[in-house]
Structure 1
Amino acid sequence: MLMSIMKTPGVYVVEKNAFPSSVVEVATAVPAFVGFTEKAENGNKSLLDKPWRIASMAEYHAYFGGAPAPAFTLSASEDGQKADLVSAYGRFNVTRETTFSLYYNMLLFFANGGGPCYVVSVGDYTSDPAADAFLGGINQLLREQEPTMLVIPEAVNLSSDGCKTVQEAMLKHCGYEMRSRFAIVDVFEGNKERTDPAGDVVNDFREYIGSNFLDFGAAYYPWLNTTLVQDGDLDYRSLSDIGPLKDLLKQEAEKSAIVGFSELVDGLEATKDDELTAEAKQVITTNHKILYQVSPIYRDILKEIRFKLNTLPPSAAMAGVFTLVDNSKGVWKAPANVSIAAVNSPCCTVSHAQQEDLNVPISGKAINAIRSFVGEGIKVWGARTLDGNSLDWRYINVRRTIIMIEESIKNAARAYVFDPNTANTWVSVRSMVSNFLTSVWKRGGLAGSTPDDAFSVHIGLGETMTPEDILEGIMRVTVLVAVVRPAEFIEITFQQQMQKS
């Protein structure tokens, strides 16, 4: 009851808030993946082109299905052409027919510390992958407020122009349309060495990525040789046409003294699992195990298939690393000097000297290296955004920390919309923001020996507002923060001194 409407004699109780509203820190590690899935359904409800939140691979299986069936072609290598396999029976190439890989990238994400995330399915495994499908999936994310990262690992499966279109759209979405997300992009054909005769893949990436919103994205090189697909996941039916394989194995059987080898090869069929009985599946498993033991060429073919399936771009793994670092140390810790799980090796070796151009190029478009260190494993060895020349936004953790602070304070400030634009409100807003930033400083997110050194909050008439601002209903708040930056370069100086005894 308000004091102004007291009309009856008596005792009235008036409660006043002693503390300002608090700022709730927004989540920082919620990536959104856009790609193709086996299915997209929640019961009878379609999830196609709809962002859907999951927290584990079990939920992914329930809503989006499993991996695409491996589909490879075995063909003889032409003269002068690089061959995947070289045997006593000829030179052969193993070519992948489908490029759907989101399922494997999700495995890599969760293996590296991934947690809750969003998946936008833009088609199934019968779809024709195109840049427009990914662009449509990005647009669907405009309605979602929770995701803080954008990852589209299948973009590298498009043509160079298609990949360029998608990655430019990712940066625009994060840096212009939302300004609350960070894009993790991959170098197109990043499984190749920079000295490849076809061209320097890193320089090509820097040229096509453009120059807009670079501080809202980061790229990593090279791709990764993962351990996700094992020998037990494959058999001869991974080849869409086993005719060339049977011809090759027949030649091997003719030179072999193994009894029944030739008859076994004659009976091979490429029937899919959904068309087989349990007994037929057992026969296929037995045939596969026998061939794997007696045929070197068969082992080599499956090894090449496994190698191609396990070669993945690093963006999904990095989304997992971002999540792991955020949850264990805070968003202000640079997501670097961290090991990557479920990986055998980088596709290319990057030396100390070779990383100089990756990290500090003339163009400023820094590419973070993934390197293998003896005795330490495979580590992320870079923490820069694509805007490496910017002193403000050079580091990934700085940009993402500012995003967290901005979004947290913005959400809390909504409580004061339409409140009187007076000193009482200004004091409440200043206290609310200062309390939040003090908690961030105590956890190590801001630099400074005292809170006054770490941040300052300014609001008030004559300080951040003019009388005209008051008349127009504008409340201006200025927040200055000193975000911690990584010790990227450590210099240790040694010199000799005179003998003292």
Structure 2
Amino acid sequence: MLPLTHATPGVYWEQSVSSPAPEFLTGVPVLIGFATKGDVARPQLLTLWTQFVEIFGIAGTSDLPDAVQGFFGNGGRACYVVRLRDFISIEAALAEALEAIAVLDGVDLVCAPDLATSSQDTAQLLPMQEALLDYCQEMGDRFAILDTHRNATIDDVVEQQQQLSSHPGSHNSALYFPWIQVQHLNTSLPKLIPPCGHIAGIYAQSDLDVGVHKAPANFVINGAVDLSLLLSDAERQKLNLNNQDNQVGKINCLRILPGRGIRVWGARTLSQDAAWRYVNVRRLFLMVGRWIDRNLTNFTFEPNDIMLWIRIERELTAYLETLLAQGALQGNSPQEAFYIKCDAETNPPEVRDRGMVITEIGLAPTVPSEFIVVRLIQGETGVTLV
């Protein structure tokens, strides 16, 4: 905006309204699958379910339309959709799609329902899901929501869990079981589909209501009318068995609770590392990394001195104090919730000579209360709840 031309010297003031900064969204998945029309391996940003129908159609046997509808039906606001190429191996089509979405900036979740739909057994599904974990590990800012294959037994799911938990990128993934039953989009008849699209919508809604630090669990799955398998307490215990010698990641079960609908009953990653046990904790750190990547690039090529270190600490402190105020971090004060260190100790001469600025950040994330224990004590005055 050019300044106005003034006739005489003096002091003048002008009023302008600045444009708001773009919203930093989380819970934005890319959904990958087959479609009957639309460009192949070209990400399309959608904010409405009707846009999917217009661009990709709902004909065919793919579960991608149901996943996208489930995403929006469970609170999702925006997603990217990528159509897989037909007439080549699904592994090659997936590799092409992952290459196409690498350039996307606003994505933090990855779902591929048709990988599960196209797999006959765990052995066929695992290599493709491992490719997703490779991709999320390489990108460093994305989290994969994984499914089992259609006819998976309890033993199949345990095998899948154990194999994926040994992957280096397992901390960037979560596995959900069983499949859900929805109404077919064309015939309104019952249809079983992988739950990942619906789960992604729940992630997005949880992020909007509270934030990524909220565990995306104990939410009703809108659009689900039944489950492919009703798990007994013994089966859920087997799926969530905690090996003390090897902290294998757990499977997030879906449950039908009488009078409370079909709900997500778990918020665990597949990681063997106890530090990354919870989905919300891992996603919090991924979000902080995305924020740093987006907001600290202005400091690139600045003189590497104490003034730069102070500016970096100031920017990070302001952001982390915001997270503390939102309840994302533990502690009654910033000193208890996080620390930031960017000084001569983290940046000795040999580091500065390489053109690097190193900053250490420590966070104390909140963790979900998975186990609510109520003690019943019977005494002379009656039963007391403790």
- The TM-score with structure 1 as length reference comes to 0.68
1:225 partner letter: Q
Corresponding residue to 2:240 among 340, 359, 365: 359
1:219 partner letter: L
Instruction: Name 1:202's counterpart in structure 2.
Output: 157
Any residues of structure 2 matched to 1:37-76 within 5 Å, and which? Answer: 37-40=35-38, 47-68=39-60
Corresponding residue to 1:184 among 137, 141, 145: 145
Instruction: Name 1:483's counterpart in structure 2.
Output: 365
Q: Deviation digits for residues 316-354 of structure 1, max 9, x if unmatched?
A: 110111111111111110000100011111111123332
Instruction: Name 2:262's counterpart in structure 1.
Output: 378
Q: Matched residue of 2:53: which SS?
A: helix
Instruction: Name 2:68's counterpart in structure 1.
Output: 106
Larger radius of gyration: 1
Distance (Å, rounded) in 1 between the aligned partners of 2:211 and 2:336: 20
Of residues 149-158 and 361-370 in structure 1, the stretch that sits farther from structure 2 once superposed is 361-370
* CA distance 1:379–1:358, change in 2 (3 Å): same
* CA distance 1:466–1:57, change in 2 (3 Å): same
Are the equivalent residues in 2 in contact too, given 1:25–1:408 (CA < 8 A)?
no
For these two proteins, the number of residue pairs brought into alignment is 357
Which stretches of structure 1, 4 residues or longer, exceed 4 Å deviation after superposition? none
Instruction: Name 1:266's counterpart in structure 2.
Output: none
Instruction: Name 2:5's counterpart in structure 1.
Output: none
Distance (Å, rounded) in 2 between the aligned partners of 1:361 and 1:395: 14
Instruction: Name 1:412's counterpart in structure 2.
Output: 295
Residue 474 of structure 1, CA deviation: 1.9
Instruction: Name 1:435's counterpart in structure 2.
Output: 318
Corresponding residue to 1:137 among 90, 97, 113: 97
Q: Which structure would you say has the larger RCO, counting Cα contacts within 8 Å and 6 or more residues apart?
A: 1
Do structure 1's residue 323 and structure 2's residue 204 form an aligned pair? yes
Distance (Å, rounded) in 2 between the aligned partners of 1:105 and 1:499: 55
Residue 123 of structure 1, CA deviation: 3.1
Q: Identity of counterpart residues, as a percentage? A: 29
Instruction: Name 2:84's counterpart in structure 1.
Output: 122
- The TM-score with structure 2 as length reference comes to 0.87
Which blocks of at least 5 consecutive residues in structure 2 are unaligned?
A: 1-20
Corresponding residue to 2:128 among 166, 170, 179: 166
Are the equivalent residues in 1 in contact too, given 2:165–2:249 (CA < 8 A)?
no
Residue 484 of structure 1, CA deviation: 0.8
* CA distance 1:165–1:450, change in 2 (3 Å): same
Any residues of structure 2 matched to 1:3-22 within 5 Å, and which? Answer: none
Are the equivalent residues in 2 in contact too, given 1:131–1:158 (CA < 8 A)?
no
Distance (Å, rounded) in 1 between the aligned partners of 2:241 and 2:367: 17
Are the equivalent residues in 1 in contact too, given 2:164–2:270 (CA < 8 A)?
no
Are the equivalent residues in 2 in contact too, given 1:108–1:228 (CA < 8 A)?
no
* CA distance 1:361–1:202, change in 2 (3 Å): farther
Instruction: Name 1:299's counterpart in structure 2.
Output: none
Which blocks of at least 5 consecutive residues in structure 1 are unaligned?
A: 1-22, 41-46, 69-98, 195-199, 235-302
Q: Deviation digits for residues 62-84 of structure 1, max 9, x if unmatched?
A: 2212222xxxxxxxxxxxxxxxx
* CA distance 1:424–1:192, change in 2 (3 Å): closer
Residue 37 of structure 1, CA deviation: 1.0
Residue 425 of structure 1, CA deviation: 1.3
Do structure 1's residue 470 and structure 2's residue 352 form an aligned pair? yes
The CA RMSD measured in Å over matched residues stands at 2.2
Corresponding residue to 1:220 among 176, 197, 211: 176
Distance (Å, rounded) in 1 between the aligned partners of 2:334 and 2:179: 42
Distance (Å, rounded) in 2 between the aligned partners of 1:25 and 1:182: 20
Residue 192 of structure 1, CA deviation: 4.9
Corresponding residue to 1:313 among 194, 199, 203: 194
1:39 partner letter: K
Residue 164 of structure 1, CA deviation: 1.7
